[in-house]
Structure 1
């Protein structure tokens, strides 16, 4: 099938959240491989691996097993949820209207948007650190407030260019930039491996099996779970007839390969550098392990890897913003998004005293509602065969997805219950003396080991499945109630919205 005129490399994608017609579907599952490979070759995988050794007490063999299960498993879930994009041709949170109702979907959509903003702020801040270090090494320019702002703007400008152009350009860059930065990363990895304290690595005792369970959950939460609500955004242009299993495999292997390498290396490095897991500036901490002449290629690789991850997040955030009801073109939504992340980068670098602490706190809190959405959405996806494309864009009472007062109460109720219970097991803190939130069950084994999100996922899926069964739900095939929407148009307000 032919691609639309605007979904081509170098052209600005004008499509917003409206479903892609079958006549404009194109591509192959391999695109999902490159999408998730590109998103996961950033250096943030190294501190995750270091945390397995420094904080969980695992040896290298246990860390590798945990990395494989956590990375491949969590991104297999991302691939499975991206099947919804292939079926419905729309972004994940737009398709979520069919699950939660056009009004009930507001909560999950807002949480998702905040999650994307958080990841983008982390990427932007880390990339600015890399660029500042590069300028210092190459030209002897020392960090100051003005230079920090300039570095943030450079990274944001690159992100805006790629994300603003849209889907086709992103897919093209994901593939070819991954080759370039992948090779550069391999060179850096080889030199980092030379710094490993191998005697300490092989003398390290094995940690308990319970620590492996916790470590697997930590890796999954820090990698695939954060992307679970974005998979459909990139699969929505793919033809319907592509087997879902190929999307699952492409996503799992695309992300799993670089993540296992980086997490394993981080685990090795932690044997001699235990402070890596909690470094305030992970870029500088890793750079200090390399010969001085390797700093420039390392910092370029760090900057590029973060850019490849960030433009995906910004693209998804723009679509999520439109789904929230902010009636702007996709390109404008992307621009608004990077303005917010620029402000976040200023805060992290120039105001906040700790970089990694707020990062972990951010992951801890948002993992709960995101996994609750994943549980509900996954159960619905197992029952659903198609989506009503017109109803997805109709946010008034005439929509098939209006349900009762605009809310599908079974889905929203399961989501809320799972969040409440998950938060009971959750503690969010930047340090032992700076606790942001602590649930009454956060001191239990589940809570102290950061597994509240697992309870949330299982409970959301279970409660929603039970409520559907009690309501007599069966497999659904929501065929369009009228001809498909015309391509390349922003959704116009319905009569109910205008009123």
Structure 2
């Protein structure tokens, strides 16, 4: 049977919401995951991550590169592994999560996921608006003011809405070609930025403590792959079941790892020579000041485009997550509602808040804990051979096989909740020793000092679910071809 031209065609609005994709509409190759995650990670937000490693973690450049490789490649290999659920069940990640947590129990992880997506969107939107303001000033001499700030926010949001609103097929097409264009622009800009580095300071920098390396790996993982782990299935759900899972994992790890290692390493280089990047209230302007004036326009275009590539993915997933939460609107309408929240967040960060890096750093640190707890539970459930019943996923009434006890699957829900508490006990969110936003009572222990609260959350959630979660609800799916044991084995 031919692939549906209504649900997944470039340039047309995708009409499918969160309902599982049947086999006859599956198409594509594993390489789509490479372009998807490359596109999501070519934005200049990788530079502040690298700057933080040097300025706040005390690492030298060699340690920062090691941290970038382990944190980026490792965390996105996990994203790839979790995206296998999308290939198996054909639905978005948090919709599939109903089979694990129960129809009501899934509300908590889904809400946290939506908050995570909105947070990332707000940060991307704010940074892109700074880039557009700087572009207008450089090209036309237009100074920044409140009205122009609002206009720049709206321009970026409209661009995001146009891509995310159209849906999966358009996103996949744009990811590939725009990534090539903006990737080349970024490489050119990176070459000029390298020329500004004070190499004597970089090479003379002393090595930081091992604890800083461990904490840095956790920070990079939390700020990159962990933040996307609950969205991988959203983009793998149209892929045929027969694609080997190892290809998806490899494509995801390399697609994100290549740009992230380059950008994080460059951010570390720049901060080692000039630590002001790590404390700049406007990171776009701080980087722009390091470039020759004639490079400003290419740099700002690359910055704007890279952020757009990341933001349309996050917005697309946020729309699916809102529908999973119970919003009864078409997918495109959910995306439109999400950008309204994004606009409000951008106004706050640009016109009200005094600090950019404080919210950025603490946001990454704190939300990594509940997301990691979800990952721990989902990973154990997947290892047990979970399959999905398409009809039950969409049935939110008491008749659903995923209703369990009052809508909750207690081992999963309790495991997730306990894991969050355990992780926060060891978590400290701060930008310096004097600027502490949150500190758990055990944050001064070895695990807390090394920034491993998120890892503890993941382990605790997985262990509790492994011990108390019996294998239930994992039989073959319904007759529409959504799942079968034979296909499951073939798709691994």
TM-score range, shorter chain: over 0.9
Separation in 1, partners of 2:33, 2:23: 19
CA contact (8 A) 1:87 1:385 kept: no
SS for the counterpart of 1:437 is: strand
Structure 2 equivalent of residue 496 of structure 1: none
Structure 2 equivalent of residue 492 of structure 1: none
CA contact (8 A) 1:2 1:25 kept: no
After TM superposition, the structure 1 stretch with the greater mean CA deviation from structure 2, 199-208 or 418-427, is: 199-208
Structure 2 equivalent of residue 143 of structure 1: 144
Structure 2 equivalent of residue 347 of structure 1: 348
SS for the counterpart of 2:429 is: strand
Structure 2 equivalent of residue 172 of structure 1: 173
How far residue 478 of structure 1 moved from its aligned partner, in angstroms, is 2.7
1:4 pairs with 2:4 = yes
Consecutive unaligned residues of structure 2, counting only runs of 5 or more, are 483-492
Consecutive unaligned residues of structure 1, counting only runs of 5 or more, are 486-499
1:194 pairs with 2:195 = yes
Structure 2 equivalent of residue 97 of structure 1: 98
How far residue 463 of structure 1 moved from its aligned partner, in angstroms, is 1.3
Structure 1 equivalent of residue 439 of structure 2: 438
Separation in 2, partners of 1:374, 1:214: 19
SS for the counterpart of 1:400 is: coil
CA contact (8 A) 2:388 2:474 kept: yes
How far residue 427 of structure 1 moved from its aligned partner, in angstroms, is 2.7
Map 1:27-176 to 2 at 5 A.
27-176=28-177
Q: 1:467/1:385 Cα in 2 relative to 1: closer, same or farther (>3 Å)? A: closer
Q: Deviations over 1:270-311 (max 9, x none)?
A: 121112122211111101100011000000000000000000
Separation in 2, partners of 1:370, 1:100: 14
SS for the counterpart of 2:321 is: helix
Map 1:289-300 to 2 at 5 A.
289-300=290-301
Separation in 1, partners of 2:270, 2:434: 28
How far residue 142 of structure 1 moved from its aligned partner, in angstroms, is 0.2
Structure 2 equivalent of residue 308 of structure 1: 309
After TM superposition, the structure 1 stretch with the greater mean CA deviation from structure 2, 217-226 or 430-439, is: 430-439
How far residue 401 of structure 1 moved from its aligned partner, in angstroms, is 0.5
Q: Deviations over 1:39-98 (max 9, x none)?
A: 000001011111112222222111111111100000000000000000000000000000
SS for the counterpart of 1:428 is: strand
CA contact (8 A) 1:390 1:482 kept: no
Structure 1 equivalent of residue 360 of structure 2: 359
CA contact (8 A) 2:137 2:143 kept: yes
Structure 2 equivalent of residue 183 of structure 1: 184
Map 1:361-440 to 2 at 5 A.
361-429=362-430, 435-440=436-441
CA contact (8 A) 2:77 2:252 kept: yes
Separation in 2, partners of 1:291, 1:227: 35
Q: Deviations over 1:420-463 (max 9, x none)?
A: 11111123346666644322112223223322111111111111
How far residue 362 of structure 1 moved from its aligned partner, in angstroms, is 1.2
SS for the counterpart of 1:334 is: helix
Q: CA RMSD in A?
A: 1.4
Separation in 2, partners of 1:449, 1:347: 31
Separation in 2, partners of 1:477, 1:348: 44
SS for the counterpart of 2:3 is: coil
Structure 2 equivalent of residue 237 of structure 1: 238
Separation in 1, partners of 2:268, 2:169: 36
Q: 1:265/1:436 Cα in 2 relative to 1: closer, same or farther (>3 Å)? A: closer
Q: Deviations over 1:207-245 (max 9, x none)?
A: 222221111111101100000000000000000011100
Structure 2 equivalent of residue 249 of structure 1: 250
Structure 2 equivalent of residue 480 of structure 1: 477
Separation in 2, partners of 1:57, 1:464: 37
Scaled by the length of structure 1, what TM-score is found?
Answer: 0.94
CA contact (8 A) 2:56 2:431 kept: no
Q: Deviations over 1:310-349 (max 9, x none)?
A: 0000000000000000111001000000000001000100
SS for the counterpart of 1:349 is: helix
CA contact (8 A) 2:219 2:365 kept: no
Separation in 2, partners of 1:201, 1:436: 30
SS for the counterpart of 1:14 is: coil
Separation in 2, partners of 1:481, 1:242: 21
Separation in 2, partners of 1:2, 1:273: 57
Separation in 1, partners of 2:276, 2:447: 25
CA contact (8 A) 2:226 2:372 kept: yes
After TM superposition, the structure 1 stretch with the greater mean CA deviation from structure 2, 144-153 or 53-62, is: 53-62
Separation in 2, partners of 1:434, 1:217: 20
Separation in 2, partners of 1:184, 1:32: 22
How far residue 480 of structure 1 moved from its aligned partner, in angstroms, is 2.7
Separation in 2, partners of 1:150, 1:232: 34
How far residue 101 of structure 1 moved from its aligned partner, in angstroms, is 0.3
1:223 pairs with 2:224 = yes
After TM superposition, the structure 1 stretch with the greater mean CA deviation from structure 2, 196-205 or 214-223, is: 196-205
Structure 2 equivalent of residue 204 of structure 1: 205
Structure 1 equivalent of residue 451 of structure 2: 450
